[in-house]
A and B are shown apart, each in its own frame.
Chain A
Amino acid sequence: MVGRRWWTPWLWLAPALALLGVFLVYPVVDTCRRSFLDERSKNFVGFDNYRFIIENPQPLVSDTHSALLNNVMWLTLFTVITVCLGLTLAVLTGRVRYEAVAKSAIFIPMAISFVAASVIWRFMYEFNTDIGTVNATVTSLGGEPTAWLQDTGAPLTALTDRGPDTLPRPIQINNLALVLVGVWMWTGFAMVVLSAGLKGISTEVLEAARVDGANEWQIFRRIIVPILSPTIVVVATTLVIQGLKKFDLVWVMTGGRFKTDVVATLFYKEAFRIGDFGVGAALAVVLLLWVLPVMVIGIRRFQFQEETR
């Protein structure tokens, strides 16, 4: 072989590296830099922008505390509900005759653009019962219509009966409504991946358990879930990242109003709507630092699986 020089692999990597550099590395570095500058990125202000996030001085226009808490809510509630629902559906659809049809029906929302899905659900949640399917259903059953996307209330409990302040109540009705749309969109993904893992479990193991007298719940709890756990972790990691960087759904449905802001919508609003690039960049950095460990865990897990395969 002639011509295989040390730079040959780099030459082939160059286009990808150039794109990564321009569209990923440079923006990340520049965002970090701007997070220490003032709103027009002119003067150095130290940690002022991060102090803004912690002290939350403008709770009406950019409620940083509420955004951070909402992100926590998204990454827990959204992930837990979607994984549980996906797993249940994977097990159940595996046992019906029209498996393909059932799975397709559940997977279809994944094929819709998220913005389109958000617009659809805006209509579903509409307050006017002539338009909003959800409220029409509620009222036909004798209930009162609810402003699903505007209601910041929560079922009254000792925890929630604090009245409005800079911190949102743990679970607001409108946040829950948004999370359910996210679940609707992502359950299909969780179900398909978990179902594939499920198919990989050898029937001998399950049969052996049945011979030993295990009931179906024990088989699910003690055999299926442990064997599936690597797949569950992969699905959960993907969903956690989705939950953390949620933007489209919130922006289209509420614009982050009525205390539904998440970090992604708030940094966009701060930087581009209000024009404060400092706080916007600081929020983006917070989000980045938050997503990083999750991604590292995900990649580690993936490498580990590749090695053991």
Chain B
Amino acid sequence: MFHSKRSYLLLILFAIVAFTGLAFVACGDDEEEGPQIGTVDVLGIWGDEELVSFEAMVDPWELDTGGSMAFTGTRDITTVLTTRVEGGNPPDVAIPAEVGRFQQFAGEGKLTPLSACEGLEETVKANYPQGFIDLGTVDGTLYGFFMKADTKGTIWYNPGFFADNGYEPLTVDSTFDDLVALSDQILADGTPPWSIGVESGEASGWPGTDWIQQILLNEAGGDVYDGVIDGSIPFTDSRVKDAWEKFGDIALTEGYTVQEGAEGINATNFVDATYPPFESPPEAAVVYLGGFASSFITDQFPDAVAGEDFDFFPFPGGGVTGGANIVYAFNDDETTCSFLNDLASAEAQRIWVDRGGFTSVNSQVSLDSYPDPVSRAQAEQLAGAELFRFDLDDAIGGALQLAFFDGVTQYLANPDNLDSILTGIEASR
């Protein structure tokens, strides 16, 4: 009766208030993004130490412009990014490691060309290596630039252990056979030469793809490498198969790995696999993993000194593969542009370089900026490589990348099935 009528009224009133409130909030959002610098929404992969360093790098920009960064870090960036783009709610800026999805977004016209931001395209074209500019270009338009690079031509060893036993670290001029010879020498002295682990949850197998791409680049050359990426050379090609078998020669030779073969390699996490050479006494002699492995080592052994307790020698063959985080934007408003210009600048990148764990591809960041000899050597290797290629699986991306990962774990478990595995990978292209 009267009572219930009043509650209807209240309900309706409440509904009206709620809806107008929502509308108001929505409008408020739009109005905030006016001419001055606001909040930039960034989706990336960093957490922990790396995030602290990234925030330190962005701090001066926030102070200078009065803007702020809202950063979301996730290992599952491809998934999150796809969902948000599909849902019509992309971040302002994305900083993933894989370029396959980047090319797809760019092709669909979802990304902002760097030329839309004043001065950005010029900065990138003037200071970044041509190879990275090409990678950020889709259909003739530059959409992204690379800021945090990692060489993947690094074999980590324990200098003390090498000196005690008279082992010689390999050089750029060494060959794959030298690597096998060194392994045999170490094995003969009673230590398993290698520590290998490819477990990485859903992405298990990727450390093995690093091996294969590095061998492929050195043995077959850049043209074959590019052919595998663009599809003109299938995975079933004999030169590709040869690279897999060479990887198998190391991973599957009895006694070569401290993990004692395929089962252990598949079950050992790639981070844990970096520890054995630096235990005392060392449980293995060397571990192959990208430049980022140095941070795993220093996390596990806080007292380890770069260059004395751990160091790297180049993967034999002269060619260098490497990964990098690509930066791209979904809009060109002033906040986003100002933020991108800051990230691309040498001044900002030097901050992270100085904090460690960051290799810049910006030529304005000099080698003197690096805090220790090992990180400097990594930067030198990237800048001075006679033959450099972007990480193979990150360059192809999508289903093919996942098939490549799965191929590695299956190959380790069943090396006799290599032919059918390679056919299976190619079927996912």
A residues at B contact (CB < 8 Å): 1-3, 40, 57-62, 126-128, 146-147, 149-152, 163-164, 251, 254-258, 268-269, 271-277
Question: What would 22 A/B residue contacts be, using CB atoms closer than 8 Å?
Answer: A3-B4, A57-B427, A58-B399, A58-B427, A59-B424, A60-B410, A60-B421, A60-B425, A60-B427, A60-B428, A61-B399, A61-B403, A149-B267, A150-B263, A151-B263, A163-B417, A164-B414, A251-B202, A257-B202, A257-B204, A258-B204, A272-B79
Cβ contact within 8 Å between B417 and A164? yes
Cβ contact within 8 Å between B398 and A60? no
- Residues of A near B406 (CB, < 8 A) are 60-61, 257
Cβ contact within 8 Å between A255 and B1? no
* Contacts A60-B421, A274-B402 given; does A127 touch B267 at CB 8 Å: yes
Q: How far is the CA of A294 from the CA of B421 in the complex (A)?
A: 38
- Residues of A near B101 (CB, < 8 A) are 275
Q: How far is the CA of A217 from the CA of B104 in the complex (A)?
A: 65
- Residues of B near A163 (CB, < 8 A) are 414, 417
Cβ contact within 8 Å between B409 and A150? yes
- Residues of B near A60 (CB, < 8 A) are 402-403, 406-407, 410, 421, 424-425, 427-428
* Contacts A127-B267, A255-B201 given; does A273 touch B1 at CB 8 Å: no
* Chain B residue nearest to A276 in the complex (CB): B399
**In the complex, which of the residues A1, A146, A164, A273 contacts B79, with contact meaning CB atoms closer than 8 Å?**
A273
- The number of residue pairs between A and B whose CB atoms lie closer than 8 Å in the complex comes to 97
Q: How far is the CA of A241 from the CA of B186 in the complex (A)?
A: 55
**In the complex, which of the residues A1, A152, A272, A275 contacts B104, with contact meaning CB atoms closer than 8 Å?**
A275
Chain B residue total in the interface (Cβ 8 A): 40
Beyond known contacts A61-B428, A273-B78: 10 more, CB 8 A cutoff? A58-B428, A60-B421, A60-B425, A127-B267, A149-B267, A151-B263, A164-B410, A258-B266, A272-B83, A274-B402
**In the complex, which of the residues A62, A149, A272, A277 contacts B399, with contact meaning CB atoms closer than 8 Å?**
A62
- Chain B, 108-148, CB within 8 A of any chain A CB: 108
* Contacts A127-B264, A164-B417 given; does A273 touch B409 at CB 8 Å: no
Q: How far is the CA of A222 from the CA of B110 in the complex (A)?
A: 67
- Residues of A near B332 (CB, < 8 A) are none
Cβ contact within 8 Å between A258 and B409? yes
Q: How far is the CA of A147 from the CA of B407 in the complex (A)?
A: 18
B residues at A contact (CB < 8 Å): 1, 4-5, 78-79, 82-83, 86, 101, 104, 108, 199, 201-205, 263-264, 266-268, 272, 398-400, 402-403, 406-407, 409-410, 413-414, 417, 421, 424-425, 427-428
B245 to chain A, nearest CB (A): 18
Q: How far is the CA of A57 from the CA of B427 in the complex (A)?
A: 7
**In the complex, which of the residues A61, A127, A149, A272 contacts B402, with contact meaning CB atoms closer than 8 Å?**
A61
Q: How far is the CA of A57 from the CA of B410 in the complex (A)?
A: 17
Cβ contact within 8 Å between A128 and B272? yes
- Residues of A near B86 (CB, < 8 A) are 277
B216 to chain A, nearest CB (A): 19
* Chain B residue nearest to A4 in the complex (CB): B4
B418 to chain A, nearest CB (A): 12
- Residues of B near A272 (CB, < 8 A) are 78-79, 82-83
Cβ contact within 8 Å between B263 and A275? no
- Residues of B near A258 (CB, < 8 A) are 204, 266, 409
Cβ contact within 8 Å between B407 and A255? no
Cβ contact within 8 Å between A3 and B1? yes
**In the complex, which of the residues A40, A128, A277 contacts B268, with contact meaning CB atoms closer than 8 Å?**
A128
Cβ contact within 8 Å between B402 and A273? yes
- 10 closest A-B pairs by beta carbon, nearest first, are A255-B202, A127-B267, A147-B267, A61-B403, A60-B403, A272-B79, A60-B424, A61-B402, A255-B201, A60-B406
* Chain A residue nearest to B79 in the complex (CB): A272
- Residues of B near A126 (CB, < 8 A) are 267
- Residues of B near A146 (CB, < 8 A) are 263
Cβ contact within 8 Å between A255 and B203? yes
B146 to chain A, nearest CB (A): 22
